[in-house]
Structure 1
Amino acid sequence: MGCVTFELNEGKRANRQGVQVSASRRSGTTDELGPEEPERPDGPGGPGGPDGADLLAALLDGMDAALCAFDADGVVTHWNREAERILGWSAAEAVGRQGFAGWAVREADAEEVESRLMAAMHAPGRQVHEFALLTKDGGRVLVRTQSAAVPGPDGKPAGLYCAFSEVHAQIDLERSIALSEALFDDASWGVVLVDADLRPAVVNAHAARALGTGRTAVLGRPLGDLLTRGVEELENALTHVLAEGAPPAPAEMWVGVRTPEGERRRCWRSGFLRLASPLAEEPVPLGVGWLFQDVTEAKQGEQEAALLRFRANQLHRAARAAAECEDPAEAATVHLDFALAGFADHAVLDRILIERTPGERIPFGRAPGGVPDEDAPAGPPRLVRIAATPSGGPGPSALTGHAGLPVRYGETHPVLQCVARAGSVRAGAGSVSAEEAREWARARVWPEDTVHALCAVLRSRGRTLGVVTFLRGAGRSAFQRSDATYAEDVAVRMAAALDLADLADLEGHGDAG
């Protein structure tokens, strides 16, 4: 509700018998204003422009708040169209009446209402009250008023004005303002007002923390200065909202936030609202209200749970398929094939060999007749590759047989480190050029597109049987600790199958002897 201050000179010239001033001029009635004033030149009040009374009447009638004014004796001198809309009394019916008694206020309430209104003439500032006023058709409307004195030429109160609106409309306005202030001060989610140029115009404290900057530092900056990833997706969403309106449901977006420590990957669940001016005849977009909440931990938890379910299903399916294989060595490659799905691009399987007698090679750790770990010969073990994915690209593993040639690994090769530690080893090419990455893979006897590797040891009955190595290309992320855990589960099943194959070979040799 606005505050209006104006002079009551026109009202002071009206008499108490209902002579109307500015309002009566609009209604066509005759004013008793005394001698006519001489014509003034062009401009305000002149032949080419409105006079002061007409201008004042236009201003009052254009107000969004209802307004009436009283002279020093309590006579109504002004009554605008919003007051007419709320109460139903026209300006012709209201101007000139003594107070509100008997027409706009019940007789029982008139004395209290008049005393509280007239007290504003001698009180500093504006006085706020709530009254129940009568409409022309006999209804009652609860209004909230703001009243203040209007000084005369001598500085003394010459009357007062009373601006009022329906209480529910005022409460709605106050709620909107309170909601706005709460969102930008105390909200537990990010709130950003983005202008039509897709730049932040207002940012609350939570959003500023999420963006890694201060509330004022972010204003007017392009979103690309704040985010490293997800900028195009976010700008597309904002542009769509400006053109078409709010989407029907929140959207989850992964973004990269710039921080002094580097990029920070976050998932924000975002909602969008188009902001339009309430003062325009047609909706004019002022920007977009963007509300978001950080759901990174929840999404990561969901992704991890889904990944665990998938891998558990793969292990279960692999076990059922391997159970149908007559050859235990084939069962080992079945486990490897199922493990590759969604996990790695390539895989290789290496067995360890030792020489018991000149010219005789047997798998290291072979069952009963084999050599246990503590009795194994000194020096790096010798390995032979018995299974690998096709060299042309990712695909099912291919069993190459026990007669394969030994693989020449360097002393620091991850596979040999895996055997020495009897545990998993992760390796990567690092941040190098494509040619350097290919050279890194060739030096380790892996496919040339390899960038990340994970080696898992094959152990059965206290013996090391070999190593299975999972390989990823540049399009995948590096192996994590959770990946190593899964690889170890696969390696346990493969080791059991290979150990069973050794037992079958021994039994076959015994029968042949």
Structure 2
Amino acid sequence: MTTPSETQSAHRVSDDRLLSALLDGMDAALFAVDSGGRITHWNRQAERLLGWTAEQAVGRKGLGGWAVRDADATDVNDRLLGVLRRTANPSGRQVQEFPLLRRDGGRLLVRAQVSAVRAPDGRSTGAYCAFSEVHAQLDLERNLSLSEALLADSPWAVLVVDPDLRTVAANGRVAQALDITPVDMLGEPLAEFFGAGMEELESALEHTLAGQAPDGPVELWLTQAEDPCREDQFGIPPVPAAAGDRRCLLGGFLRLGSPLAPQAPPLGVAWIFQDVTHSRRAGQGAARRAFRDGQLSRASRAAAECEDPREAAMLHLHYALAGFAEHALLDVAVPGPAAARAPGLVRTAESPAAFAPPVGTAGVAVRYRPGHPALQAFERGVPVRTTGGTGRSDWAAEHRWPPEAEHALCVVLRSRARSLGVLTFLRGHGRRPFDRADAAYGEDVALRLAAAVDLGGAAGAC
């Protein structure tokens, strides 16, 4: 039969083994001293860093002469035991830096956290010292500081996702770039916030998780997905983005792994980027303008060698279509019964490109219905932009345009204070609608065409 004293002794042995296992399993080096400065505990991390085994360390009084130089022993001992008698520090905890000696004689500067050990009655019975090499500690603190800086006041947007591509952290720059509060993004899949371009983003994230991150910065054009339920910090729904409004995000991808295991699965990916939409669009606009100016210059030089005004007009149409539209129609005005108010438009030239070859319609009067964009441009003297082929299959047919047309730009031909006709540019499937810059370019082309038509004298001369 087991007596109570034997049971208590067995529990004590079990507790001692548990304490020993906990100390040896710690990632930090640790030793403990009693109130007299005698070593009572020495774990395996301390043995790994300094080379002294627990059998060699436990029981020694103080660290001087073996783990600390004799010249430093008094100072180190006072700092270790200082937590026992300092009343100015109610927590009984201090962070210290001091040099220790390895068993091979080398010196090691450590950063240590020294804490008092108290009995149930509050009396100090000793102290323990958890320490690590100061350079390793500084590296850890720098890493933590870097993480906090990136997620706080970094000039770059930082978005962290887990292996399931769900957002786990986002800084303020992300909110500015995407018009989404970080709170709304946390825990949500990225696919909830992006439309076009999401496949490229997912591919980059998945390759990074697999250890094949892109070598250099990646430029992604993304369209933000519409969410009618989203609200800002004041509870106000955001202004819907314009159709086709894309953002160019330039950045890199970093695979995040645990430093505690050499072959641990990835913790996620950090996407660090900047919104460079404005500069990229400005660059694209400059390149587009330079190309179009070059086309106008080449067309003018080629047309100058033409004797036939109609041939010169066709050259202008061919040069204008490159990169601008798929089809162009030139309709010249011929006075009708009501003269200036109801002119007849005669198809003079057309320049097909991607569309199917049209039926020859040169010289045939075009019967546009009232309110047609070409008639509006002629009557008002300003460019008219229209779109609608995407939603209506009969839209192009109603306007007497090729069936593939989805976007149109109609520009009036003006020369010597007269309206001579209408120039129509058409874009097909997959192209964006005409914008103001396109209308300005269309007017430049129309000025050159108007000069060619006016030079011919009339539609019959062309």
> Would the TM-score normalized by the shorter structure come out above 0.5?
yes
**Partners of 1:185 and 1:205 within 8 A in 2:** yes
Identical counterparts, % of pairs: 53
**Partners of 2:327 and 2:354 within 8 A in 1:** no
Residue 365 (structure 2) aligned to one of 406, 409, 413: 406
Please say if 1:319 is aligned against 2:300.
Answer: yes
Higher mean C-alpha displacement, 420-429 vs 206-215:
206-215
Q: How big is the shift at 1:504?
A: 13
Please say if 1:485 is aligned against 2:452.
Answer: no
Q: Residue in 1 aligned with 2:455?
A: 500
Q: How big is the shift at 1:467?
A: 1.7
Q: Secondary structure at the match of 1:299?
A: helix
Q: Residue in 2 aligned with 1:262?
A: 240
In 1, Cα distance between equivalents of 2:67 and 2:192: 60
Please say if 1:295 is aligned against 2:250.
Answer: no
Q: CA RMSD in A?
A: 3.0
Please say if 1:384 is aligned against 2:349.
Answer: no
**Partners of 1:458 and 1:465 within 8 A in 2:** yes
Letter of the structure 1 residue corresponding to residue 346 of structure 2 = V
Please say if 1:448 is aligned against 2:410.
Answer: no
Letter of the structure 1 residue corresponding to residue 333 of structure 2 = I
Letter of the structure 1 residue corresponding to residue 388 of structure 2 = A
Please say if 1:117 is aligned against 2:80.
Answer: yes
Please say if 1:61 is aligned against 2:24.
Answer: yes
**Partners of 1:381 and 1:416 within 8 A in 2:** no
In 1, Cα distance between equivalents of 2:246 and 2:252: 19
Higher mean C-alpha displacement, 131-140 vs 330-339:
131-140
**Partners of 1:122 and 1:149 within 8 A in 2:** no
Please say if 1:284 is aligned against 2:261.
Answer: no
Q: How big is the shift at 1:240?
A: 2.1
Q: How big is the shift at 1:378?
A: 4.1
Letter of the structure 1 residue corresponding to residue 403 of structure 2 = E
In 1, Cα distance between equivalents of 2:312 and 2:9: 105
1:23-62 superposed matches below 5 A: 51-62=14-25
Q: How big is the shift at 1:481?
A: 0.5
In 2, Cα distance between equivalents of 1:419 and 1:276: 66
Q: Residue in 2 aligned with 1:426?
A: 385
Q: Residue in 2 aligned with 1:173?
A: 140
Count how many residue pairs are aligned between Structure 1 and Structure 2.
Answer: 441
Please say if 1:247 is aligned against 2:209.
Answer: no
Any idea what the Cα deviations from partners look like across 1:92-134, whole Å, max 9, x if unmatched? Answer: 3322222122222233322222212211112432111111222
Q: How big is the shift at 1:43?
A: 8.5
Q: How big is the shift at 1:53?
A: 3.1
In 2, Cα distance between equivalents of 1:234 and 1:391: 34
**Partners of 2:119 and 2:125 within 8 A in 1:** yes
Residue 460 (structure 1) aligned to one of 403, 408, 415: 415
Segments of 5+ residues of structure 1 without an aligned counterpart are 1-36, 359-375, 509-513
Segments of 5+ residues of structure 2 without an aligned counterpart are 228-237
Q: Secondary structure at the match of 2:195?
A: strand
1:44-443 superposed matches below 5 A: 51-123=14-86, 124-125=90-91, 126-152=93-119, 154-257=121-224, 258=226, 260-263=238-241, 264-354=245-335, 377-390=339-352, 393=355, 404-429=363-388, 432-434=391-393, 438=394, 440-443=395-398
Higher mean C-alpha displacement, 255-264 vs 221-230:
255-264
Any idea what the Cα deviations from partners look like across 1:435-482, whole Å, max 9, x if unmatched? Answer: xxx2x3333322223222111222233333222111122422111000
Q: Secondary structure at the match of 1:272?
A: strand
Q: How big is the shift at 1:57?
A: 2.5
Structure ID, larger Rg: 1
Q: 1:79 to 1:42 in 2, by over 3 A?
A: closer
Q: 1:504 to 1:187 in 2, by over 3 A?
A: closer
Letter of the structure 1 residue corresponding to residue 435 of structure 2 = Q
**Partners of 1:189 and 1:293 within 8 A in 2:** yes
**Partners of 1:458 and 1:494 within 8 A in 2:** yes
